[in-house]
Amino acid sequence: MSLEPMAWVAALALSSSFVVYEGGRRADIDERTALAPKALYKMIGSSQTKLQIVDVRPDPSKNFEDTHVPGALPFPDCDLGKTPAGAKGRIVASIPTIVVSAEGDPKLFQKCAAFFTSARNLDGGLEAWIDANLPEDSGEYIPPKPSAGGGCL
């Protein structure tokens, strides 16, 4: 048997391992790098980007209902026990997630990042979103109707 096919298989395996390694490094860098509000706004506008936004500010009846990033799910303090009933089943740990706190609190983000497979912090939190004059939503969280096709953005 020729060594050539074995060499190609070895080369393919080696290059595949580099791709996997680089992908893991990229994910790690992304998680450690906060996302700018305008970059999130562009992601929301892209129909090809699947993500969920969680608003982790405490007391959703006060904070979330006053103002939040459009499409955000209330997830106070990253605690399912404090999450409104309608949002509990919609928060999925395996979906890429953007964590929105009041000011981009890194400690709260670390707590939340442990819950999700892939998470990024909104740089400056909701305060930076508002300062960038980006659209806001308000009101109590109401899950979309099944016929609306709601879910991730």
Distance CA 42, CA 23 (A): 22
* 43 and 81 belong to one structural domain: yes
- Phi first, then psi, for residue 89 (nearest 5°) are -75, -10
For residue 8, the model assigns a pLDDT of: 82
Residue 71 forms part of a structural domain: yes
Q: How far is CA 33 from CA 10, 27, 98, 104, 133, in A?
A: 35, 10, 12, 12, 22
- Phi first, then psi, for residue 98 (nearest 5°) are -110, 125
For residue 38, the model assigns a pLDDT of: 94
Percent of the chain at pLDDT above 90? 58
Domain housing 138: 35-148
Percent of the chain at pLDDT above 70? 84
* 41 and 20 belong to one structural domain: no
Read off the pTM: 0.75
Element (H, E) at 73: strand 73-74
Give first-to-last CA distance, the chain, whole Å.
53
* 71 and 41 belong to one structural domain: yes
Listed in sequence order, the residues at least 6 apart from 30 whose beta carbon sits closer than 8 Å to its beta carbon are 118, 120
| Per-residue pLDDT tens digits for 9-41 | 777 777 777 666 665 555 555 566 889 999 999
| DSSP reduced 3-state for 138 | coil
Residue 102 forms part of a structural domain: yes
Total domains in the fold of the chain: 2
* 27 and 42 belong to one structural domain: no
Residue 62 forms part of a structural domain: yes
* 7 and 75 belong to one structural domain: no
* 62 and 136 belong to one structural domain: yes
Region of poorest pLDDT, from 9-23, 51-65, 119-133 = 9-23
| Residue (of 98, 86, 83) closest to 128 by Cα position | 98
Residue 138 forms part of a structural domain: yes
Residue 39 forms part of a structural domain: yes
* 86 and 17 belong to one structural domain: no
Residue 61 forms part of a structural domain: yes
**What does pLDDT average to over the chain?**
85
* 10 and 52 belong to one structural domain: no
Distance CA 46, CA 5 (A): 43
* 113 and 86 belong to one structural domain: yes
Distance CA 60, CA 42 (A): 25
Which two tokens mark 26? Answer: 């990229």
* 17 and 3 belong to one structural domain: yes
Distance CA 130, CA 145 (A): 28
Residue 153 forms part of a structural domain: no
* 56 and 17 belong to one structural domain: no
